[in-house]
Structure 1
Amino acid sequence: MSYQLGNSDIVELTEWRRELHRFPEISGEEAQTARRVEDRLRALGPDRLLTGLGGHGVAAVFEGAAEGPGIMIRCELDALPIPEISTFDHRSQVPGKGHLCGHDGHMSMVMAVARALSRQRPEKGRVVLMFQPAEEDGSGAAAVISDPRFDETRTDYALSLHNMPGLPLGSVSLRRGPVNCASRGMCIGLNGRTAHASDPATGLSPMAALAKLMPELTALGHGNGPEDAGFTLATVTHARLGEATFGVAPGQAELWVTLRTMLDADMADLVSRAEALVADCATEAGLEHRIDYHDVFRHCENDPEAVELLTRAMAAEGLTPGEAGQPMRASEDFGRFGDHAKAVMFLLGAGETCPSLHNPDYDFPDELIPIGARIFLRAVDQLLNET
């Protein structure tokens, strides 16, 4: 292998990971995180450094000496609006926010790749290291791709990973085809008319419609998991009826539902059926209604050629990929890059006893930093250095 990482690299990047963990920023607010990334990358002298990409995104380009294919390696900048309950020294210093999905670790792996590339450029082609903003709410990839400067980062391949609690530490999971579900947040508003609580008949309450919609929307689900053909899932995540008062019969209600399908092609049908249910229920109750969508994720699908590239890279590192944990119900804002490159995402085991992603006591296992970085570097080496 042409690229090497020393023990000092891993020690320094482990400490940097913990620094990132102390100062989490949520989707759309990653200004200081991006600045920390930018400062590190600038010191490594990439051939091009793009900042403010699609918001707070940062991309470093390392050019080879000759023409050849390009590889993007993508990680995420953002944290979560979840309070962390851990007590270790590098716990979050920002109340109500935490790196509880491991994006701090993913950034450290990609920064390790940058260190290796700064010492030795590829023989041909180029490598783009993409630090994507706003992954958690599904808006970041679309914003990066719509940025006019995205053309400067286009590549033939796009690689990414996610750490996965529940899988043995350092194990890898990789498969062809769909790997992450499509999903979107459906926000439903029901509007009637308030009344005095002593005379509710003079108003128009959305209470019955709200109570009816929750089980009927949930019943749109089909299949036990994303491996089942036509899998769909509707999950009620929030409901509000009126105001917190005893003197007013409610006139408004709000219902949040996450719609999920394995494939993008199935989402339009699920959306149509959900919207029809809402419209029928509101009409029956004499209510006005509105529907807004948020956190829209495309499904992720692994390209066969990209899977083969990573499989060979893993084999060279002595790793044999399985398919445990895939396809995933969870969504990932990586699928859009598949419209522009041969994309692939793999899972890297975070340990069978590691707290689950988004749990308040989760912390990224530092032992994964060199493993993920070496897999990425091996893929670069095999595609851009070997003839």
Structure 2
Amino acid sequence: MSKSTFLAEHELSELAVWRQELHSRPELSGHEEKTAQAVQAVLRATGADQVITGLGGHGVLGIYQGENSGPTIMLRAELDGLPIQEISELPYRSLVPGKAHLCGHDGHMTILAAVARGLSRQRPCRGRAVLLFQPAEEDGSGAAAVLADKRFEQVRPDFVFSLHNLPGLPLGQVAVAEGLVNCASRGMQIVLSGRTAHASSPELGVSPQAAIARLLGEINALGRGGVLDEGFSMVTVTHARLGEPAFGISPGHAEVWVTLRTLTDSKMDALRTQAESLVQSVAESEGLRAEITYRDVFNHCMNDAEAVAHLRNALDAESVHYSGQGLPLRGSEDFGRFNYRSKAAMFFLGAGVQHPGLHEPDYDFPDELIEVGSRVFTRALRNLLG
């Protein structure tokens, strides 16, 4: 079976321009209104039989119906950017201070836009091809919100496929494997409360200074990373604040934010118990109240074996080199939630060995990946739907 060539060079250039426009105007999780509008315009221009908007927030779903009955195959991309200042001289760098597409979601959306162009010319012979542009992946809330939306029941996909670009892997090569591919993680927000006092009489208050120093020194020891096996765990301090920026106040309030990370959900339960126990012990010893809340909760991400087999068939047909190199990854993905409803699998598309890493301030999605990513997805759809 020969490689598909459903996009002309001028179309790839047009798609790259569209990607760069998305890149210049990023929106954060839960606020992707204008990005969603741009996606809706693309889906309608390609003649989608149905466009569902506002799915699980600002999610957008495009449905392309086949002539005969058959399975429903869904492809998923993400809408949101990151709260990071871009450092770049690119002509299309972010125009929004403190926000940027530094994970490649602009590129993932563009790959699905390319697939939509192909579907506009060749509908499935059977079943349905569904393109999901999901909100709020970066904070872990988007997939859950989409699945909880009653309108998603209209879709009920048999298979769900996704991709993520992967710096460090040679450009255009693919990593794919069955089983665990992404870690579980969650953000743990620790608030320590004591009593403020005048800076000249700190003994009259209860300061969290000693407690925050102990936590910063001890909590990382609960999980130091290492080999990514079943026992893997990692704790990363991401933010800390003590008191207010003033010289006349002995502080009575402190916050520490940490990310807990494990390979499996079951290991996360154990790490969470350890971390909570440490926080409470430190707080009590210093006469403080401790409050713990969780944000950005990601379950581990598991690839279904049958779904992976379909991806490998598409990769073979498109002559794309692949292996299981580098998997599983330490990073987290909310795509794993789809595996509770459908047979789901994600593959990782190399962005280049020396390419800046994801979430780094000078990262940019390689436009060369639009063509290869859309070819693989399109082939998977044609293999399954005809």
Letter in 2 for 1:135: E
Paired position in structure 2 for 1:63: 65
Structure 1 position 30 matched with structure 2 position 24: no
Letter in 2 for 1:325: G
Paired position in structure 2 for 1:304: 305
Paired position in structure 2 for 1:45: 47
Paired residue for 1:209, among 208, 211, 214? 211
Letter in 2 for 1:355: P
Structure 1 position 350 matched with structure 2 position 351: yes
Paired position in structure 2 for 1:371: 372
Letter in 2 for 1:254: E
Paired residue for 2:221, among 201, 219, 222? 219
Paired position in structure 2 for 1:316: 317
Letter in 2 for 1:360: P
User: 2:309 aligns to what SS in structure 1?
Assistant: helix
Q: Deviations over 1:261-312 (max 9, x none)?
A: 1111211111111111111111121111111111111111110001100011
Q: Deviations over 1:327-351 (max 9, x none)?
A: 1111112111111111111111111
Paired position in structure 2 for 1:124: 126
Deviates more, 1:301-310 or 1:264-273: 264-273
Q: Is the 8 A contact 1:54 1:146 kept in 2?
A: yes
Paired residue for 1:164, among 166, 172, 178? 166
**1:225 Cα offset (Å):** 3.5
User: 1:334 aligns to what SS in structure 2?
Assistant: helix
Whole-angstrom distance in 1 between the partners of 2:234 and 2:361: 25
Letter in 1 for 2:355: C
Whole-angstrom distance in 2 between the partners of 1:209 and 1:243: 16
Paired position in structure 1 for 2:250: 249
Whole-angstrom distance in 2 between the partners of 1:153 and 1:86: 40
Percent identity between the two aligned chains: 58
Paired position in structure 1 for 2:273: 272
Whole-angstrom distance in 1 between the partners of 2:225 and 2:330: 12
**1:324 Cα offset (Å):** 2.0
Paired position in structure 1 for 2:105: 103
**1:223 Cα offset (Å):** 4.9
Structure 1 position 234 matched with structure 2 position 235: yes
TM-score, scaled relative to structure 1 = 0.97
**1:6 Cα offset (Å):** 2.1
Letter in 1 for 2:290: H
User: 2:307 aligns to what SS in structure 1?
Assistant: helix
Paired position in structure 1 for 2:330: 329
Q: Deviations over 1:159-186 (max 9, x none)?
A: 0111111111111111111111111100
* Unaligned stretches of 5+ residues in structure 2: none
Whole-angstrom distance in 2 between the partners of 1:128 and 1:211: 51
User: 2:31 aligns to what SS in structure 1?
Assistant: coil
Letter in 2 for 1:306: A
Structure 1 position 192 matched with structure 2 position 194: yes
Q: Is the 8 A contact 1:222 1:230 kept in 2?
A: no
Paired position in structure 2 for 1:141: 143
What's the Cα RMSD here? 1.3
Paired position in structure 1 for 2:295: 294
Whole-angstrom distance in 2 between the partners of 1:18 and 1:233: 35
- CA 1:223–1:36: 2 relative to 1, 3 Å: closer
User: 2:70 aligns to what SS in structure 1?
Assistant: strand
Whole-angstrom distance in 2 between the partners of 1:262 and 1:225: 10
Whole-angstrom distance in 1 between the partners of 2:90 and 2:289: 50
Paired position in structure 1 for 2:341: 340
Aligned structure 1 segments of 4 or more residues deviating by more than 3 angstroms: none
Whole-angstrom distance in 1 between the partners of 2:218 and 2:99: 34
Paired position in structure 1 for 2:80: 78
Whole-angstrom distance in 2 between the partners of 1:10 and 1:315: 22
Q: Is the 8 A contact 2:72 2:155 kept in 1?
A: no
User: 1:383 aligns to what SS in structure 2?
Assistant: helix
Letter in 2 for 1:132: Q
Deviates more, 1:202-211 or 1:373-382: 202-211
Whole-angstrom distance in 1 between the partners of 2:178 and 2:200: 61
Q: Is the 8 A contact 1:225 1:329 kept in 2?
A: no
Q: Is the 8 A contact 2:236 2:258 kept in 1?
A: yes
User: 1:25 aligns to what SS in structure 2?
Assistant: coil
**1:3 Cα offset (Å):** 7.4
Q: Is the 8 A contact 1:224 1:231 kept in 2?
A: yes
Deviates more, 1:190-199 or 1:366-375: 190-199
Paired position in structure 2 for 1:362: 363
Deviates more, 1:262-271 or 1:168-177: 262-271
Whole-angstrom distance in 1 between the partners of 2:99 and 2:349: 24
* Unaligned stretches of 5+ residues in structure 1: none
**1:84 Cα offset (Å):** 1.3
Paired residue for 1:183, among 170, 173, 185? 185
User: 2:326 aligns to what SS in structure 1?
Assistant: coil
Structure 1 position 21 matched with structure 2 position 23: yes
Matched pairs, number: 384
**1:44 Cα offset (Å):** 1.3
